[in-house]
Amino acid sequence: MSASDRLGAQAEPSIEGVTRPRQQDAPLLSARGLKLAFGGVKAADGIDLDVMPGEFLAIIGPNGAGKTTFINMTTGYLRPQAGSIEYDGQPILGLSPRVLVGKGIGRSFQLPQLFTEHTVLENAALAIAARAGLWSPLVPLLRPQWRAEAMALLDRFGLAPLAEVRADALNEGARKLADIAMAVALQPRLILMDEPTSGVAAAEKMSVVETLVRVLRDAKVTAVFVEHDMEVVERFADRVAVWSQGRIAALGPPETVLKDPAVLRDVIGIEPAHSHA
């Protein structure tokens, strides 16, 4: 998918639906019995998951476990063969990514989807213009209010000093933040992030995560993120879901799940020190 597909897909203005009262403790996202097989590969084999408003839920698991498939199903890029997904109490299966963005479901990608020949500021302004339902490579920066909003957005992500830098000249940490800033420009209530720290140098990884967590918490955005770095999971996730062969093998707070001997062995690759042979 190209960067322009991404914004093109998000450019349609949202239609305000009738919101019905929700219980305080109702999940924002609720998946039940999701199944999807590619040939003989079961990428989802009965996924049940509730994500509560305001929580940060990390998804961990080995390569090929079906983590990205879950994000693709939730954001309208893949349709499961069985099961249901509700967002804010409403069924969303079959809705396009564009419609889901309008409903407040944002996403960032493993490989950032930026307009590489444009500056960071232009990228942000384009996302803001897309939210307004307008699309033109030139119009956004001609509108002073979009430029001002784009600068304010970049400032929240600590990217203001890089506003005039072309996206293809950014290091990976800044690129990831710029990508997430574009998703935040679309004002999501829920964001799904596929490996927000992959490729980011170890020295800057924590500051990248601290920045994005601060911005998302300030904006009261609920987050689901795929993560391979257990230190990041431990520090920033409220709960962890462990994916294994298309199923959720464990779910709970990091302090519990990351001590589970099976998780240590199968996901993190550490043999537990004391086993009951």
105 in Cβ contact with 147 (< 8 Å): no
Nearer to ligand ATP, 115 or 243 (CB): 243
Nearer to ligand ATP, 2 or 63 (CB): 63
The 143-172 site mask, x for binding ligand ATP (CB under 6 A), equals ------------------------------
- Residue identified by tokens 């403790």 is 25
Taking the complex as a whole, the smallest distance from the CB of residue 76 to ligand ATP amounts, in Å, to 14
- The residue within the footprint of ligand ATP, chosen from 65, 177, 242, 258 (CB under 6 A), is 65
**Segment contacting ligand ATP by CB under 6 A, of 25-33, 62-70, 137-145, 180-188:** 62-70
Taking the complex as a whole, the smallest distance from the CB of residue 19 to ligand ATP amounts, in Å, to 32
Tell me the CA distances in angstroms from 23 to 28, 53, 91, 153, 190, one per residue in order.
10, 11, 17, 31, 17
Strand order in the sheet with 105-108: 105-108, 190-194, 222-226, 56-60, 239-244, 247-252
**What whole-number distance in Å separates Cα of residue 54 and Cα of residue 41?**
33
Binding to ligand ATP (CB under 6 A) within 68-97 occurs at 68-69
**Segment contacting ligand ATP by CB under 6 A, of 1-9, 66-74, 86-94, 174-182:** 66-74
In terms of Cα–Cα distance, which of 28, 42, 47 is closest to 87? 28
In terms of Cα–Cα distance, which of 87, 2, 4, 80 is closest to 46? 80
- The residue within the footprint of ligand ATP, chosen from 6, 67, 176, 189 (CB under 6 A), is 67
DSSP string, 71-137: HHHHTTSS--SEEEEEETTEE-TT--HHHHHHHTEEEE-SS----TTSBHHHHHHHHHHHHTT---S
Nearer to ligand ATP, 27 or 66 (CB): 66
**What whole-number distance in Å separates Cα of residue 236 and Cα of residue 240?**
10
Nearer to ligand ATP, 33 or 64 (CB): 64
Nearer to ligand ATP, 189 or 239 (CB): 239
Residue 164 CB: number of other CB atoms within 10 A? 9
Binding to ligand ATP (CB under 6 A) within 21-40 occurs at 38
- The residue within the footprint of ligand ATP, chosen from 13, 17, 33, 64 (CB under 6 A), is 64
Q: Does residue 41 touch ligand ATP according to CB under 6 A? A: yes
Q: Does residue 108 touch ligand ATP according to CB under 6 A? A: no
Binding to ligand ATP (CB under 6 A) within 218-257 occurs at 243
Q: Name the site residues for ligand ATP (rule: CB under 6 A).
A: 38, 41, 43, 61, 63-69, 243
